[in-house]
Chain A
Amino acid sequence: MRRYLSIWFPALLADRALRLRPELKDTPFIIAAPQRGRLMVKAVSPPALKKGIVQGMAVADGKALLPELKVFHYKAGAEEKLLNRLAEWCLRFTPVVAADLPDGILLDISGCPHLWGGEPSYRDTIISNLTASGYQVRAGIADTVGAAWAIARFETTHFIAAPGQQEAALNALPPAALRLDPSVLERLQKLGFAHTGSFMAMPATVLRRRFGQQLLTRMGQALGHLPEAPVPLQPAAVFREQLSCTEPVHTRVAIDMALETLLERLCNSLQQAGRGLRSAVFKIDTVEGGSQQIFIGTNRPVRNTGHLLKLFEPKIATIAPGMGIEVFTLEAPAVEALSGRQEAIWNTLGGADTGTELAGLLDRIAGRMGDAAIKRYLPAEHYWPERSVVPGGLFEQTGTSWRSDRPRPVYLLPKPALVVVAAPVPDYPPMLFRYRGKVHKIAKADGPERIEQEWWLEQGLVRDYYVVEDEEGARYWLFRSGHYGEEKPQWFLHGFFA
Chain B
Amino acid sequence: MYLSIGCWRPVYMTKALFHTTLFRQLQQELLLLQGLRAPLDPELQDPGLGIINESFPHRAFPVGAVHEWISSSAEDAAATTGFIAGILGTLMRKGSCLWVSRHRNLFPPALSIFGITPDQVLFVEAPDPKQALWAIEEGLKCETLAAVVGEVPELGFTASRRLQLAVEKSRVTGFIHHRTNRVAENGACVSRWRIKPITSTLPGGMPGVGFPSWNVELCKIRNGRPGTWKVQWTPQGFFVLPEKITEQALIIKKAG
Contacts and interface: CB of A to CB of B under 8 A. Distances in A.
B44 interface: no
A472 B197 contact: yes
Contacts of B145: 358, 361
Contact of A444 (B95, B126, B200): B200
A357, A385, A404: most-surrounded residue (chain B CB, <10 A): A404
A385 B107 CA distance: 9
B197 A444 contact: no
Interface string B83-119: 1010000000011101000011111111011000111
Given A377-B118, A444-B200, A410 B81 contact: yes
B144 A357 contact: yes
A409 interface: yes
A410 B120 contact: no
Contact of A413 (B105, B109, B213): B105
A351 B134 CA distance: 23
Contacts of A445: 208-209
A410 B110 contact: yes
Contacts of B127: 369, 373
Candidate in A361, A378, A388 with the most chain B CB atoms within 10 angstroms:
A361
Interface in B171-197: 196-197
B77 A443 contact: no
Interface stretch (A92-100, A200-208, A289-297, A490-498): A490-498
B105 A411 contact: yes
A178 interface: no
A410 B209 contact: no
Given A358-B144, A358-B145, A365-B138, A409 B197 contact: no
Given A350-B144, A369-B127, A411 B77 contact: yes
A408 B81 CA distance: 13
Given A353-B143, A374-B123, A377-B119, A473 B198 contact: yes
B38 interface: no
B117 A402 contact: yes
A420 interface: no
A352 B122 CA distance: 17
Give the secondary structure class of B's interface: mixed
B167 interface: no
Interface in B51-70: none
A474 B197 contact: yes
Given A350-B144, A445-B208, A446-B208, A365 B135 contact: yes
Interface string A394-427: 1000100011100011111110000000000000
A389 B197 contact: no
Q: Report whether over half of chain A's contact residues are helix, strand or loop; otherwise say mixed.
A: mixed
Q: How large is the interface on A (under 10, 10 to 19, 20 to 34, 35 or more residues)?
A: 35 or more
Nearest to A402: B112
A109 interface: no
A414 B94 CA distance: 31
B107 A410 contact: yes
A63 interface: no
B133 interface: no
Contacts of A434: none
B119 A408 contact: no
Given A351-B94, A365-B138, A474-B197, A376 B144 contact: no
Contacts of A404: 109, 112-113
A20 to B, nearest CB: 36
B74 interface: yes
Contacts of A379: 109, 118-119
Given A385-B107, A467-B209, 5 more contacts: A361-B145, A369-B131, A377-B108, A388-B109, A389-B118
6 contacts: A352-B95, A369-B124, A374-B123, A496-B75, A496-B77, A497-B212
Interface of B: 74-75, 77-79, 81-83, 85, 94-96, 98, 103-110, 112-113, 117-127, 131, 134-135, 138-139, 142-146, 196-200, 207-210, 212-214, 233
Closest 8 pairs between A and B when the two form their complex, measured CB to CB: A498-B82, A351-B95, A496-B78, A412-B107, A474-B75, A473-B198, A473-B199, A404-B112
